[in-house]
Chain A
Amino acid sequence: MLGYTIKRLLQMTLVLWAVSVIVFLMMSFTGDPVFMVIPIDSTQAEIDQARRILGLDRSMLAQYWIFVSNMLQGDFGRSYVFGQPAMQLILERLPATMEIVVLAMLIAATVAIPLGVYAGANPGRASSRAIMSGSLLGISLPGFWVGMMLIFFFAVRWHLLPSSGRGDTVEVWGLRLSFLTVDGWRHLILPSVTLSLGTLAILLRITRAGMMEVTRQDYMKFARAKGVSRRGVLYGHGLRNALIPVVTIFGLQLGDLIAFATITETIFAWPGLGKLLIDSIYRADRPVIVVYLMLVALIFVVINFIVDIAYTLIDPRITVK
């Protein structure tokens, strides 16, 4: 286990280093950040002054060297546009994104798994077919369209929920949280539901496929013959054996939603990470993009690590090496 953790840590360092190099190189092709921050009719002297202020007057290699050596001392650089530490910009927005993502994943898991088990155990029924067709809709409808429809009906037409924004928040240990206020919950519902749909549909289909496979196994019939209740067989024996792919996808989707909830956040004007990424790309704000993508890589590595550990808990035959 210790050896495995160390191996994973080394891998992670390598991934992060690769991300930083790739992003640094790519960003040199996506436009000159100086022209995004100064007035367009600036003279050459004014441009040179701006380059000096932003640290862009040095060579690419020197800039990369400064970036890496500062990072090793915990300084991730400052945004060209905001003039603030890039890490701070990201951490400020992380709680908002985590809220809708966690809620979306909870909705997805609590709806998808029971439905998937049901549809997998009773493949012939009309209700199962309805569930499966519904899940196809969930996969194929684009998130921005669903979001706009939800806003149109729940906010504009029926006046039940607010259209956008985060509402009242409470500050706990320096983090702004909206799930502690009623108003916050009202704002959370629509974006979380929108965000959950795709994942919900995928989890549902994977759970069903796994269950259909597992229900044909002899041990299922054996358990039933032994007198275990149908429910006990389905969830205790069936689902547990069908769970490995579900957990894998769950982990990947979780990372994906944290990193790229951009569209849903833009539609609901949700003050999360996604909008920061888009804005930074438009403004060629390299420090923010580099740190953001490194953080995303880190999140994926950590989630996959946790998923691997979860395998050993679900199936004791699996060991991590």
Chain B
Amino acid sequence: MTNSRKSAWRVLLGTAAIALTTTSVAYAKELTVGLTSDAVHFDPQAGEELSSNIMFYHVYDPLVRRDADLNFGPGLAESWELADDTTWVFHLRPGVKFHDGSDFKASDVVFTINRLKASLMANLGANITTATAIDDLTIEIKTPFPYAALPNDLAAILILSEAHVTAVGDTELDSNPMGTGPYKMGEWIKEDHITLVANPDYYMGAPKIDEVTFRPITNPATRTAALLTGELDIVQDLAVRDVDRVKAEEGFEVVTKPSLLNIVLAMDMREQSPTIPLDTNPMTDHRVREAIARAIDVDTISTVIMNGLSTPSEQYVPSTHVGYLPGADFHAMYPFDVDAAEQLMADAGYADGFTMTLDTTNNRYVNDAQIAQALASMLAKIDIDLQLNLMPKSNFFGYIRVPSDQSSFIMSGWDVPSGDAGSMYSVLFYSRDVKEGYGQVNRGSYSNPALDALIDQADSTADIDERAGYLRDATQILLDDIPMIPVHYEQDIYGARDGVTFTPRADKFLWVYDMDVAE
């Protein structure tokens, strides 16, 4: 707001006004960020979507911190070790204070985890059996099985103050949040702005920016306009069509970063498939799956549909993740080749192709509907008649839900912010209905005992390197088997004015503590 006034002044009064406004600005550093939507919650256990997640990490801290490039390190916990295969001991940082001045203690962690397990977000604590305070600064966490990725999981659990939550009550926590984080709640005018003010006593040192305002602006063109007028310093999700415009404007830059969201195509592996009018499901044949993979030209999708703002995905998880197999690339194993794909279809006995339906969203992923149309025309070349069933996300996730009785071919996105492929493989590829908490999102009903065994092994060691080894083997099996085709990672696009020091995070959670503005 002050910025917009400044720009108007500049035009009206010329350089004199610039001198006037710059001298009148106090030495408090302020930053205004344009988000795509307002936060819904400030209670990290009441729900999650991007805007709320961004707020959570400003107000609260996790025990284990995840940096911009998904490296995991000490947060509220200074160090941790394994007591036995399923028992972890975390040593908490001494001297950390909540915003109200009270001490952060092990009992707050216990409270947080117990409350989490009874909440809508119980899933975040699925691999924690119990949490017990040994003393004020030591906490013991038990897992249901040896689980090497526990610290990664803990990066998503934000610590609440037991005294505060008890005092304000569950529903009031949204409007009156309090944690140990670098910023405190200033003012939240729904759908207009959220102002956070620096916590000078933050345990890693006072933030460089004193006050940050988040403004929800849903319409992408308005977001760009507000950046160009100087009302905003940074915008999230700059529209693809505005990229050139902002680049051309002096004083602004466009920053991109591959996101963690992998767009994948899940293929049905059941004997009969709901939308394929044949006695046997052709996709049970490896040759048909390979033909489909080879008929899809991910580079064309990237250049034509995504304007170059996507990165074809080599595997199911990005290279930063535990379980990534160095050197392996799905699209190098099965390069785009229509002739080879046709030959594979003929070998499998489907020279005349078949009909099936693709289920996907039309408002969830970048250009999802256009990608679906492109897939239909690519698969038409190998005589697969792909019907499109597009729907809004509010219908989609219920529609494709396991047992997925209506779906043969599903395009959806999957991201693994915990940085561990195991959390994806165990829910997406483990045989269905064998183990509680495994295979519940295995929509294609893929089942491979060798893969299940590797995941079991990964989930029975508390050693992260050993776990990584099993998961790499699992990646190899999946790349060979093709239960799913990885398409691309969307790219996150930001616009920022010059003078703002800002590096995007892999998990998309803008964190103002890492930013600075020039005086």
Count: A-B pairs, CB below 8 Å: 157
Complex contact B225–A164 (CB within 8 A): yes
> Within the complex, which residue of B191, B217, B218, B440 is in contact with A41, where a contact is CB–CB below 8 Å?
B440
- CB nearest to A79 among chain B residues: B40
The answer to whether A43 touches B216 (Cβ under 8 A) is no
Does the CB pair A31–B398 fall under 8 Å? yes
Q: Contact: A83 with B222, CB < 8 Å?
A: no
A148 touches B221 (CB 8 A): yes
Kindly specify which of B5-13, B61-69, B343-351 makes contact with the partner chain: B5-13
Known: A38-B120, A83-B171. A159 touches B10 (CB 8 A): yes
- Smallest CB separation, A36 vs chain B (Å): 6
Contacts of B40 in A (CB 8 A): 81-82
Is B8 within 8 A of A160, CB to CB?
yes
Tell me whether B219 and A163 are in contact (CB under 8 A). no
Q: Are A93 and B10 in contact (CB under 8 A)?
A: no
> Which of B18-26, B82-90, B368-376, B388-396 participates in binding chain A?
B388-396
B518 part of interface (Cβ distance < 8 Å) = no
Question: How far in angstroms is the closest Cβ of chain B from A23?
Answer: 15
Cβ of A260 < 8 Å from any Cβ of B?
Answer: no
Residue B124, interface by CB 8 Å: yes
A70 on interface, CB distance cutoff 8 Å: no
Closest beta carbon of chain A to B269's beta carbon, Å: 19
Of the stretches B226-234, B463-471, B499-507, the one at the interface is B226-234
**Set of chain B residues within 8 Å of A39, measured between Cβ atoms:** 48, 121, 123-124
Q: Evaluate contact between B120 and A50: CB separation under 8 angstroms.
A: yes
B4's partner among A32, A162, A279 (CB-CB below 8 A) is A162
- The proximity string for A residues 143-175 relative to B, scoring 1 for CB distances below 8 Å and 0 otherwise, is 000001001100110111111111111000000
Q: Which of B46, B190, B219, B440 is close to A269, meaning CB atoms less than 8 Å apart?
A: B219
| Chain A positions 298 through 314: 1 when the CB is less than 8 Å from some CB of chain B, otherwise 0 | 00000000000000000
Interface string of A37-68 (1 = CB under 8 A from B): 11111111110011001000000000000000
A284 at the interface (CB under 8 A from B): yes
Residue B41, interface by CB 8 Å: yes
Interface pair A163/B7, CB less than 8 Å apart: no
A159 to B221, CA, bound (A): 16
**A39-B48, A282-B393 given as contacts; is B231 within 8 A of A162 (CB)?**
yes
Report if A315 contacts B (CB, 8 A).
Answer: no
Check B395 against A30 for contact (C-beta < 8 Å).
yes
- Contact yes or no, A155 B225, CB < 8 A: yes
Interface residues of B in 42-63 (CB under 8 A from A): 43, 46-48
**CB–CB B218/A46 < 8 A:** no
Task: Report yes or no: B1 in contact with A83, Cβ–Cβ below 8 A.
Answer: no
Interface pair B46/A271, CB less than 8 Å apart: no
Which 4 pairs from chain A and chain B are nearest by CB?
A: A271-B191, A31-B394, A32-B398, A35-B397
Can you name 19 extra interface pairs (CB under 8 A) apart from A31-B395, A165-B193, A282-B363? A31-B394, A35-B398, A37-B120, A38-B120, A39-B121, A42-B122, A46-B122, A49-B118, A92-B190, A96-B192, A151-B221, A156-B229, A163-B222, A165-B215, A169-B189, A268-B222, A269-B191, A269-B216, A281-B394
Interface on A for B, CB 8 Å cutoff?
30-46, 49-50, 53, 81-84, 89, 92-93, 96, 148, 151-152, 155-156, 158-169, 176, 183, 266-269, 271-272, 275-276, 279, 281-284
25 contacts between A and B (CB under 8 A): A30-B394, A33-B394, A38-B120, A40-B441, A41-B423, A43-B123, A43-B436, A45-B436, A49-B118, A53-B120, A83-B41, A84-B174, A93-B190, A156-B229, A162-B4, A162-B231, A164-B215, A164-B217, A164-B222, A167-B1, A168-B1, A183-B1, A275-B218, A276-B191, A282-B392
